[in-house]
Structure 1
C-alpha cells in the first residue's frame, strides 16, 4: 500500500511553527539516536520567527515545504534559500541553493515526511535555476541526504 503525503508550500502564517521545528532540529544530538541536546529558548527564537516570516515574503528566493499535523501545527518541514552566484564558464545558472532546515516533529518521524518535503524543496530549487545545493546535517539526517546524492565535504 502506498501512502500519499500531502506537501504544501509554507506561507508567512507558518513562521512560528517553522521556527519551532528549526529549534527542534538544533536539538539533534551529536551521536545518532541519543539524548537530544539542550537548546535554550531566548530572544533568538523570536528573532528566528521574524526572520523566517520576512524570508517567506520573498517567494522568489525562499521556500519552505511542509506537512500539516493539524490546524496551526506542522509535522515536518524543509526550508531553503536561493543564493545569487556569478555566472562562470561551466554554468550560467543564477543561484546556489542552501537548505537551512529539515525537521520532523518526533511523533511524526519515520513516515516519509522529511523525504516528501525535501523532494518538493529540491524540485523547487532545480526549477529556480540552482547550480548546486548545500546543507549541514545531523547524524540522523545523513542517510536521507545521502539518498538525494549529497556527499560529505570535509571542512
Structure 2
C-alpha cells in the first residue's frame, strides 16, 4: 500500500501545532496512559512559529498525511540547522527532526514511516550531514529501522 504524503504549507500550522501537542503526550513508560500536557498560550505560539518557519522553504519542512476535512492523520517536522564545514564534510546543515506524530485513530498504518522518510529525503537533498531526534520508547523501533542509532550521544545544557 502506498501512503500519500505531501509537504505542508504555512496554512497547515494549526493542525501541525495540534499534532505537536499530541506528540508531547507520549507516555514515559511505553504503551501506558498518555501524559497530560496542558494547552495554553504555548499552542498558539507554536502554531505561529510553525507558520513562520514553513514560509521559508530553506529553514524547515513538514510532511503530512491528510485525514480529510482539514485534518491531518500524521506529520513529521524538521529544521535545518546551519553548521560550519569541517575536515570530514563541507555539508551546510545538520537536521533536527522536532516532531513526529500520528493521531491515535490512524496509527499502525505506516504513516509515521512515510512522513519521516519524506522528511529524511528532503533533509538529505538540502545538504544535511547528520539528522537527530529525540524518541519516545514507542518510536525507537521505527527510527532504528530507518538507520538512526544511539552511537553518537551529545551533551546538552538546558537554560533554567
Range of TM-score over shorter length: over 0.9
Match of 2:80 among 59, 79, 82: 82
Question: What residue number does 1:96 align with?
Answer: 94
Question: What residue number does 2:39 align with?
Answer: 41
- Name the TM-score, length of structure 2 as normaliser: 0.94
Match of 2:124 among 109, 116, 126: 126
SS across alignment from 2:51: helix
**What is the alpha-carbon distance in structure 2 between the residues aligned to residue 148 and residue 131 of structure 1?**
16
Q: Post-superposition, which runs of at least 4 consecutive aligned residues in structure 1 deviate over 3 A?
A: none
Equivalenced residue count is 153
**What is the alpha-carbon distance in structure 1 between the residues aligned to residue 154 and residue 84 of structure 2?**
24
- Name the TM-score, length of structure 1 as normaliser: 0.97
**What is the alpha-carbon distance in structure 2 between the residues aligned to residue 31 and residue 145 of structure 1?**
18
Structure 1 residues without counterparts, runs of 5 or longer:
none
Q: How does 1:2-151 map to 2 (within 5 A)?
A: 3-151=1-149
SS across alignment from 2:88: coil
Cα RMSD after superposing both structures: 0.9
SS across alignment from 1:59: coil
Structure 2 residues without counterparts, runs of 5 or longer:
156-160
